[in-house]
Amino acid sequence: MVLLAGNMLCTENLYAQVIGKVQINGKVRKSNKPVGGVLVNITSPGSPSQTATTKENGTFLVTIELQKVYTITFSKAGLITKIVEFNTSVPPNQMDIIFQNEFNIDLFDDVGGIMNDKAMNKPVAKISYNPTYEDFVHDANYTKQIQAEQELARKAAEDIQKQQDRARLDSLNKRWNDSLALVKQREAELLAKKAEEDRLKAALEKARQDSISKAQAAASAAAAAQAREKARIDSIALAEARLKAEAEVKEKARQDSIMKANAEQARLQAQAEAREKSRQDSIARAEAEKERQDSLARLRAEAEAKQKAEAEAKALEKARQDSIAKANAELAARKKAVEDSTKFANAEAERMKLQAEAAEKARQKAIQDSIQRANAEAEKMRLQAEAAEKARLKEEADRKVQEKARQDSVLAAEKAKQKADEEARAQAEADRKASLAAAEKAKQDSISKAKADEQARLLAQEQARKEEAERKKLEEEAAKQAAIRIKAIQDSAAKADAEKARAQAQAKALADAEEKARLERERQEQQARDKAMQDSLAQVRLKQQEQEEQERRARAMAEIEAKKQMLAKSSETEGKASPPPAKPSNTVPKIKDSDYMEGITEETINESNRVIYRTVVKLEGSTHNYQKIVYTWGGVFYFKNDNNLTQLLFEQEIKNAKAALKK
């Protein structure tokens, strides 16, 4: 016995050196789902702050010291920050214990700036050491009071948010009505513009006929007409390519819109199925709890709301389908109009091309004729110049002959010869001048004709410029009409997009309403579960207190009875030889697992020389027998099954088992 007591003393000294602390673990949730990335900030006056971040499953684990007051803050962007006040002050004899504490935190969306409300800045719970339970518990009255204040603030914020949503929906409805009126106005404008377009087409046809007449009348302007025709054909081809590309883009946008609408419909269907599954699960839980008639009434109301929502969703889907069909019809009409316009432009271009080719052939023939006439005239002038040159050369030869005859003649005839020579030179000069004058006249005539041709060409170019300006004007007008048609198609697509956005907004509002109803239902169910758990804990605690009181009274009565027996024996045996004392029982009692039910069972056994305080822990098929044996001579021993334990470890393991059972 002395050796055993010494071992116990050494073990207790060893545990006395352990520094106590509190390990806190828990989970952060939102809408009953874990929330990761929540910042957990822990502060205490005079101590450095520490931070932690929740994992993807929402769990966190922090360790704090004893004998301090901590403020634990849970925050994340878009959610309401919550504060927990944790007082770790414990009695001196508990400062070497490592306590375990667990609690969960539910965060909510920051609706309508509710974070700024005074009630939201208060701690949602205050946790401190309770000597009765020898553990850290929260102040239930304070929690109930602060939850009521915060619930009022949340309801006020939600009412404000509902008013804002209602105003936003009213604004969207007004914009929708204005958009419908604008679409009707634009349709009227499109009809008027179509009539104007027909008038412009007639004017274009008349201008084209006039242009053809002018082209036939002025063959010299055929090249400009061909250039204009090529430019017009290129412009038409460019316009056709642009219209085709825009039509393809619009068709692709329409297909994308239809695909998005189908995807959105599938998503809404999936959400509806998920909500239906959630509703079925809720109904199943409600059937399991038949006594909660109010929950069944809420479920019936939810079913009616769902039927109404489904009817509204069907109406929205029908409106969306009608809008898509209308948009498709409008797009088909626009596409047909573009195709008709393209066919007409192609036919017109082909006819103009044939006329331009004929005009080009006539112009080429006229140019060839003009070139031939100019060549003939130039040949004639060349022959005349050659004849004049031959005459001059002949005259020069005759002059040389005469000069030789003059030299051979007598000096008497010198004067007559010189006179004749001078006359011949004068005649030759006159002939040369006459030839040069004729050549100059022919040159001037050619220049005059070229000037006339140039003037005619300039007039043709001016006419071509005027026609080009008129053509550009008509093309600009046609481009404006095409832009108007394209804008009408874009407006139709925008209308379809707006209608789809409206359907999405209504679907989202419906989903939000259902989500709020589900959250409210879960909150009420959680409150009911919390209340049931609090009531159960209160009953367990009351039962434990009653059992402890009974055990205390039993021990006191046993001590009194033992003292009475000892006094009686001492009176009876006075003066006699004392009989040998009974052999004390020092064995550790055994138990049968089958004698105990699942959970924790506490009992007290009184024997002649000792009192056994037994705690049997039976959890998930595993049984542990904790026994505290108090002997009449003053010895106290602690056992787990057949093994000795220190008092500290004995009490700590029982406390942990009770905490595990509470979970």
pLDDT per residue as tens digits for the range 123-151: 989 999 999 888 899 888 998 888 888 88
Q: Which tens digits make up the pLDDT trace of 246-280?
A: 778 877 877 887 787 777 777 877 777 877 787 77
Q: Is 636 helix (H, G, I), strand (E, B) or coil?
A: strand
pTM of the model as a whole: 0.29
Please tell me what DSSP assigns to residue 661.
Answer: H
Q: Which tens digits make up the pLDDT trace of 195-246?
A: 888 888 788 788 778 867 776 776 666 677 677 777 777 877 777 777 778 7
Average pLDDT over residues 324-347: 72
Select the more confidently predicted residue: 628 or 414: 628
Structure tokens at 481: 């009409």
CA–CA separation, 494 and 500 (whole Å)? 10
Q: Is the dihedral of CA 345, 349, 350, 352 positive or negative?
A: positive
The domain ranges of the chain are 20-138, 171-520, 555-568+594-662
Predicted confidence band at 4 (pLDDT cuts at 50, 70, 90)? very low
Predicted confidence band at 347 (pLDDT cuts at 50, 70, 90)? confident
Nearest to 191 by CA among 488, 483, 476, 486: 488
Cβ neighbors of 243 (< 8 A, separation 6 or more) are 338, 342, 482, 486
Average pLDDT over residues 103-109: 88
Predicted confidence band at 426 (pLDDT cuts at 50, 70, 90)? confident
20-138: CATH superfamily: Immunoglobulins (2.60.40.10)
Average pLDDT over residues 103-131: 84
How many other C-beta atoms can be found within 10 angstroms of the C-beta atom of residue 503?
21
Please tell me what DSSP assigns to residue 20.
Answer: P
CA–CA separation, 653 and 263 (whole Å)? 57
Burial of 587 (0-12, 13-18, 19+ CB in 10 A): exposed
CA–CA separation, 602 and 615 (whole Å)? 4
Q: Which tens digits make up the pLDDT trace of 438-496?
A: 767 867 776 777 777 778 778 877 887 887 888 788 878 877 876 787 777 678 767 76
Q: What distance lies between CA 6 and its chain's CA centroid? A: 71
Please tell me what DSSP assigns to residue 575.
Answer: T
pLDDT on residue 76: 92
The fraction of the chain above a pLDDT of 70, given in percent, is 83
CA–CA separation, 355 and 216 (whole Å)? 9
Does residue 499 have a pLDDT over 50?
yes
Q: Which tens digits make up the pLDDT trace of 43-53?
A: 999 889 999 99
Does residue 367 have a pLDDT over 80?
no
Average pLDDT in the chain: 78
Q: Is 182 helix (H, G, I), strand (E, B) or coil?
A: helix
Average pLDDT over residues 652-660: 88
The angle formed by the CA atoms of residues 493, 495 and 497, to the nearest 5 degrees, is 70
Does residue 6 have a pLDDT over 70?
no
pLDDT on residue 481: 79
Select the more confidently predicted residue: 132 or 169: 132
Q: Which tens digits make up the pLDDT trace of 517-576?
A: 888 888 888 888 778 777 767 776 777 777 777 777 777 677 777 766 766 665 555 444
Burial of 314 (0-12, 13-18, 19+ CB in 10 A): exposed
Does residue 341 have a pLDDT over 70?
no
The angle formed by the CA atoms of residues 391, 395 and 400, to the nearest 5 degrees, is 150
